[in-house]
Amino acid sequence: MKGLIQFISSMIIFGTIGLIIKQIKLSSIEIAIFSSFIGCTFLILIYVLRNKKLDFPFLKNYKWLIIISSLALAGNWVFLFQSYQYTSISNATLGYYLGPIIVLLLSPFILKEALSRKSILCIGSSLVGLIFILSNGFLQPGLDDVLGILISMLAGSCYACLMLANKFIKQGSRLDLTVFQLGITSLILLPFIFIVEGGFEIQTQISVIPFIVFLGIINTGIGFWLFFSGMEKLNGQNIALLSYIDPLVAIFISGLILREQFTYLQIIGGLILITSTFLSEFSFKQLRIRRKQGF
């Protein structure tokens, strides 16, 4: 149950990323490097306050998996943040959630997790609900929207690689893993700031600093700590299903704050999505056993 709560909490936090990114007028690479660096620094501060040390032997034992997952995380952020510059949060979210579908399809082969009928039905229903929620923006895209959706699909592919790589890291603290991945991600992105962007431009955008700090501490540091901790205790299919909470939160927030209009089709899609996610976690078999035992 703890892992479930942690993962759901991370999805709620991630659901606010699009809204925060819309307030930051910097390049996607610059946003990603500041986010990862601030998040890493914040978590290291937690270590200092708790008088703990990072587990460097853990880094050595899983160095290649951590490097691969850090590369995936870097690609995930850069592509996702870039997609927000071309299209709406709804369109970017639809393309991005190609990731959980990839995890679902690959989990029987890579993670050796058999697909149950219930999982297939719930994930299929969740996908239908997600399409309903995002139907308006996706059915009438412009050229920029199409480009944004394609870029977000690349982000979703990187997200799938991140989830699958982390499932093979069996030992070690999830807080250690988060710190190492965020630190390595910032180092990976650092050369691209100068090669692609020609240096940092945040000095010309002082007003974005509060949003950068919020993105780094909340959406990155705390969000990924909960994300990796929860993922450790869930199987690939549950991860794929619960990941749909993220887009639901994103669309809900965009409607309240950005005043995007909701249609009846989107409301129906949200109900389908919530119901499918609930049923995927609810065990009728365990309920019958408890009733027989008098609980």
DSSP notation for 55-79: -HHHHHHTHHHHHHHHHHHHHHHHH
**Distance in angstroms (rounded) separating the CA atoms of residues 258 and 48:** 39
* pLDDT for residue 295 is more than 50: no
Tokens read off for 226:
């909960």
pLDDT digits (tens, 9 = 90+) for 157-185: 888 888 888 878 878 777 888 899 999 99
Q: What is the dihedral of CA 56, 167, 234, 215, to 10 degrees?
A: 60
* pLDDT for residue 242 is more than 70: yes
* pLDDT for residue 26 is more than 60: yes
Question: What pLDDT is recorded for position 49?
Answer: 86
Task: Answer with the residue of higher pLDDT: 209 or 146.
Answer: 209
Task: Answer with the residue of higher pLDDT: 238 or 164.
Answer: 164
Q: What pTM did the predictor assign?
A: 0.74
Question: What pLDDT is recorded for position 232?
Answer: 72
Tokens read off for 174:
């999830």
Phi, psi at residue 65, to the nearest 5°? -65, -40
**Distance in angstroms (rounded) separating the CA atoms of residues 94 and 137:** 10
In 112-169, alpha helices (H) = 117-133, 135-139, 143-167
pLDDT digits (tens, 9 = 90+) for 244-270: 788 778 877 777 777 666 667 767 776
